[in-house]
Amino acid sequence: MAPFGAVGHTYGYARVSTTEQTPALQSDALTAFGCERIFTDTASGATTSRPALSDLLDTLLPGDTLCVWRLDRLGRNLPHLIELVTDLKSRGVAFASVTEQIETSTAGGELVFHIFGALAAFERRLLRERTAAGLAAARERGNIGGRPPVMSPAKKRAATRMRNQGATVGDIAEILGVSRRTLYRHFEKSATRNS
């Protein structure tokens, strides 16, 4: 694996959200930075399918640099951005952002990304804690959470009655508007309780 700063190729990545937008501003900045080739996607920030980015990631070799005009052009969100840059680092590929003046090949640039990584982990932990607290509060109020059961007590009684009268599972499912799988689960639970 070549160290950062090794002589390699510098590739740019540009992204615009709609076909009405032009990547000219990004392309000019990336060319001025020294990018030899620029890969461009037309896709919203939330879109996971970015063919040009996939091609670029396949092209990069140790010692190369991936450069963007601004951080939000690369990652869908902060955790995704950190994941991409961490992957680049593990492959010996440097990362640079023109607007934020970040270059992971420098000590200062690497420090910034360590801070971003810590913030992303902090954000995930806060989200987990808020979710757990919300679920606990809902349980205290008597709300279990999740989807409501498909088989209400009335449907369970009707299914059992029809089954005892000789109706097929398919007929019962059609009459009650539930799947056969749901009925099989219900009958299995009833049999276990009654055994």
Active site residues: 17
DSSP string, 48-104: S--HHHHHHHHH--TT-EEEESSGGGT-SSHHHHHHHHHHHHHTT-EEEETTTTEET
Pairing mode, strands 102-103 and 94-97: antiparallel
- What does each C-alpha distance from 79 to 66, 85, 145 come to in angstroms? 18, 10, 27
Instruction: Give burial (CB, 10 Å; 0-12/13-18/19+) of 102.
Output: buried
Query: What tokens appear for 43 in the block?
Result: 């896709």
Query: What tokens appear for 149 in the block?
Result: 């059961």
Rounded to 5°, the CA angle 67-76-94 comes to: 25
